[in-house]
Amino acid sequence: MLLTHWLRNLAHMLQRRATRRYSSPARRRLPNCRGIHEVEILEDRSLLSVITVDVATDELDGNINDGDVSLRDAIAAANAGDTITFNPAQMGSSTIILTLGQLTIDKSLTIDGESNGITIDAQGNSRIFTIDDGNFTPDQTVSLSGLTITGGNDDFGAGISNRENLSVTDSTVTGNSATGDGGGIFNRGTLDLSQSNVSGNSAYYGGGLSNSSTGTATVSSSTFSNNLGQRSGGGIDNRSVGGTLTLNDSTLSGNTSNAGAGLFNEINATTTIRNSRFSDNYTSGGGGGIFNNGTATVANSTISGNTGGYGGAGIHNIRNLTLTNSTLTLNYSPYKGGGFLNSGTATVTNSTVVNNTGYYGGGIYNEGGTTTVRNSIITGNISDNGPDVRGSFMSNAHNVIGNTSSSSGFGGTDDIGTNPADVIELTLANNGGLTLTLALVDSPTNP
């Protein structure tokens, strides 16, 4: 009996202590971390690697350790940031003929063909490269160098279709054909094209390059030649509503289109041109060298030997254009504006317009637009209807103008009626700088 009573009292005492311990509001509580496991996400520590292509065969067997690695195998096996090269002993200057369709790159990757001179040929059966991870955002960085990309065929971007951040260096894009945009290259991401040749491609828009409304393209030290844009932009078409193009130290020559044979800059697109040359391009419409329907800036450039069937053989501007330190010469239109046809807003500064031919306005024809001219030479052009200038102009002084009989707006400090031989050489030559120019004659008449 005594033992039972003692056990009962002990149980009650322990119960009271437990109640006080867990219910006391004054008791300091520690964080309840007992039994909790934390997971820390570490950065990717995978090592970047170089994958070497051994064979020109187009195959995909999933094995890159058998000494029989194709370019398609290498692209599929590569991790983001890897580099693909070509075995010089086994590949040499090989041609890879695509038999399994286009090559798709959906990760950051470098393909370096510099030491081999690798050609990739689709033989008209597919596009060559698609650069796209599928998320509509340019967040991958891809570099192609030392490649010849040819024989591509697709609705757009027959050579390359890019939606990422792409650089193409020391490469040739040639002989590709698209029914829509971009025979050579169609860019919807960011494109940096340098030291490359884009030639002999065709498309409806942008035979060499079509830069879309979401695209930003920079072209440096490159050549666009003998490309065909059936509708517009034989060499380059900078597409409407946001396309941004920068052209540096480059040549567009021998391209053909219905409009803007060298370059077509569409409505609301922006183009900046520096130290470049547009020569011997042909259009049956307007703008043998350049057709501008957006905003264009041309500086330190030469536009020569172009043909425009409708007009503006050198430049046809219908929006906003600034021309600075540039030369227009030897351009021909059977209709309007041998050198320059303007129906938009144009500013011409420190520029030379000499020896161009047009039925109306051999040099510059201002057709209902606003053309402001300063410190420029416009003389020695050929036309029976306003040889040098035709239409109404605004002079900002210090111009040398040959014949003003079909124009208004020049006078004051302008020099009128000047013989071109007194102020300028009529043959393009290397007078310093990156483009051929017309040298000034040492004369007090020069502005």
Of 40 and 103, the one with more pLDDT: 103
Number of domains in the chain: 1
Mean per-residue pLDDT over the chain, rounded: 90
Q: Residue 305: inside a domain, yes or no?
A: yes
135-155 pLDDT, tens digit each = 999 999 999 999 999 999 999
Residue 22 falls in which region: left (phi positive, over 0), alpha (psi -120 to 50) or beta: alpha
pLDDT of residue 381: 97
* Residue 380 binned pLDDT confidence (cut-offs 50, 70, 90): very high
Percentage of the chain exceeding pLDDT 90: 78
104-124 pLDDT, tens digit each = 999 999 999 988 899 999 999
User: Distance between CA 35 and CA 56 in Å, rounded?
Assistant: 58
Is the model's pTM score more than 0.85? yes
Of 405 and 45, the one with more pLDDT: 405
* Residue 38 binned pLDDT confidence (cut-offs 50, 70, 90): low
188-245 pLDDT, tens digit each = 999 999 999 999 999 999 999 999 999 999 999 999 999 999 999 999 999 988 899 9
- Angle (nearest 5°) at CA 232 between 231 and 238: 140
Q: Residue 130: inside a domain, yes or no?
A: yes
User: Distance between CA 222 and CA 172 in Å, rounded?
Assistant: 10
pLDDT of residue 437: 87
| Structural domain that includes position 176 | 102-422
Q: What is the 3-state secondary structure (H, E, C) of 367-398?
A: CCCEEEEECCEEECCECCECCCEEEECEECCC
Task: For residues 393-420, give the mean pLDDT.
Answer: 95
For 48-52, 350-354, 358-362, 391-395, which range has the lowest pLDDT when averaged over its residues? Answer: 48-52
Q: Residue 403: inside a domain, yes or no?
A: yes
Q: Residue 429: inside a domain, yes or no?
A: no
Provide the 10 A C-beta neighbour count for residue 177. 19
pLDDT of residue 242: 85
Q: Residue 61: inside a domain, yes or no?
A: no
User: Distance between CA 166 and CA 181 in Å, rounded?
Assistant: 18
CATH number (domain holding residue 316): 2.160.20.10
Q: Residue 375: inside a domain, yes or no?
A: yes
pLDDT of residue 24: 42
* Residue 91 binned pLDDT confidence (cut-offs 50, 70, 90): confident
User: Distance between CA 164 and CA 161 in Å, rounded?
Assistant: 9
Q: Is residue 268 within 8 Å of residue 294, measured between CB atoms?
A: yes
Side chain identity, residue 279: S
Q: Residue 390: inside a domain, yes or no?
A: yes
| In the block, residue with structure tokens 């030369």 | 327
Q: Residue 93: inside a domain, yes or no?
A: no
pLDDT of residue 441: 80
Please say if the pLDDT value at position 399 is more than 70. Answer: yes
* Residue 66 binned pLDDT confidence (cut-offs 50, 70, 90): confident
Task: For residues 324-336, give the mean pLDDT.
Answer: 98
261-312 pLDDT, tens digit each = 999 999 999 999 999 999 999 999 999 999 999 999 999 999 999 999 999 9
pLDDT of residue 444: 53
* Residue 401 binned pLDDT confidence (cut-offs 50, 70, 90): very high
For 56-70, 188-202, 283-297, 373-387, which range has the lowest pLDDT when averaged over its residues? Answer: 56-70
Q: What is the 3-state secondary structure (H, E, C) of the chain?
A: CHHHHHHHHHHHHHHHHHHHHHHCCCCCCCCCCCCCCCCCCCCCCCCCCEEEECCCCCCCCCCCCCCCCCHHHHHHHCCCCEEEEECHHHHCCCEEECCCCCEEECCCEEEECCCCCEEEECCCCCCCEEECCCCCCCCCEEEEECEEEECCEECCCCCEEECCEEEEECCEEECCEECCECCCEEECCEEEEECCEEECCEEEECCCEEECCCCEEEEECCEEECCEEEEECCCEEECCCCCEEEEECCEEECCEECCCCCEEECCCCEEEEECCEEECCEECCECCCEEECCEEEEECCEEECCEECCECCCEEECCEEEEECCEEECCEEEEECCCEEECCEEEEECCEEECCEEEECCCEEECCCEEEEECCEEECCECCECCCEEEECEECCCCEECCCCEEECCCCCCEECCCHHHCECCCCECCCCCCCECCECCCCCCC
* Residue 2 binned pLDDT confidence (cut-offs 50, 70, 90): very low
Give the C-alpha distances (Å, rounded to integers) separating 82 from 78, 79, 210, 258: 6, 6, 28, 43
Side chain identity, residue 53: V
Of 242 and 31, the one with more pLDDT: 242
